[in-house]
Structure 1
Amino acid sequence: MRISELAERTGVPVHTLKFYLREGVLPPGRATSRTSADYGDEHVERVRLVRALVEHGGVGLSGVRAIVGALESPPPSRHDLLGAAAAVIPTPAARGPVDPEITGLLEELGWCTWSGAPALTALGDAVAAARAAGVPLDAATLRRYAAGMTVVAEADVDLALAAQDPAEAMRTVVVGTVLGDPVLVALRRLAQEAVSSRRQAAADAREDA
């Protein structure tokens, strides 16, 4: 298909597709002349992936480029795959050293993590910011959050292990994490409403008894 057809199938304007080509996040098509090329289903899939990462995952072009590169060269080990995925998944910039409270929490939980993981510093920064804003995130609450995230991580790893090959597993982990985060946030909001409603109903029933 020509680039105009690719634009029609994906809903992405031609000028944006040309930008993706220049930035290296969309592979070139098969040249049919000096000024035109032919594109296939793999280009449709890549455009949809890039669009999802940018529009729904909030990933910048440099992050998309890193993710695409990781998908094209996945490591053979599923555990190494998780490390490679973590390295390319966008994480808030660290603003200081790892908080000893965070490392202590992970030791208490028995979590084996890379000491240089960006998420360690990001977690410490996020906890500090929440506390500074008056949110009472004490150690017990963090442990409860961690217990919930363990269940989420088990589901993530199960999906990666069920993948047929390293390339599919890498896509599942990277794309699933980036695009799955908004899903988890939405589920959290809905769960908060459900739990609050249930507790309010129980309180009302006690008052009426």
Structure 2
Amino acid sequence: MKLSADMKAFQKRLGHQFANPELLVRALTHGSVSSATRPDNQRLEFLGDRVLGLVMASALLEADKTATEGQLAPRFNALVRKETCADVARQIDLGAVLKLGRSEMMSGGRRKQALLGDAMEAVIAAVYRDAGFETARDVILKLWGDRIHTVKADARDAKTALQEWAQARGQKPPSYVELSRTGPDHAPVFTIAARLETGPEARATAPSKRQAEQAAARALLDSLPK
């Protein structure tokens, strides 16, 4: 099977040249364009999630040899969650080579977080199937880069920390209010306010409610006395 110039360029960005290019094509094929003769990437996504999990769990143990399971778990979750996979996918411009149906293309599928995250996991599985675990591990560690060493700070759940701050002072749990939603349906932008029973509030904007709530909680935490 011959790959297009775009797909060859993507292999370079990924850091792996496929012996079996069909694996890469399948990993980049979304369900909106699949058929009986062109399977989608869902099975590879399932496998890639597990390969990524094993690599990240091992890398975290190596990065911090004294961390407890309770400390490692949120770091692990931060590294393997869909948002992080999508960020890595954007880093190598995976969206440019996604194979999508017309409706998905028209609705901005190449930029959708869920599609990018799923495809990134499928690509990981394709590398694993093509060249084995060690090669897949090397590709993952290169792409995830410094995230593994900086995740300790990133993994802290700001909403949980803010709730604990309020409870320690006898206050009600924080509330999160959606102030606005702008942009088209396929690329919304949310502005959320995080509020305590007493004291200031903080606002944040992000492409999902979850991200906006976390960012608002972080901003409010940073403004509070420790």
Q: What TM-score bracket applies, with the shorter chain setting the length?
A: 0.3 to 0.5
The structure with the greater share of residues assigned to strand is: 2
Give the structure-1-normalised TM-score: 0.34
Give the structure-2-normalised TM-score: 0.32
The structure with the greater share of residues assigned to helix is: 1
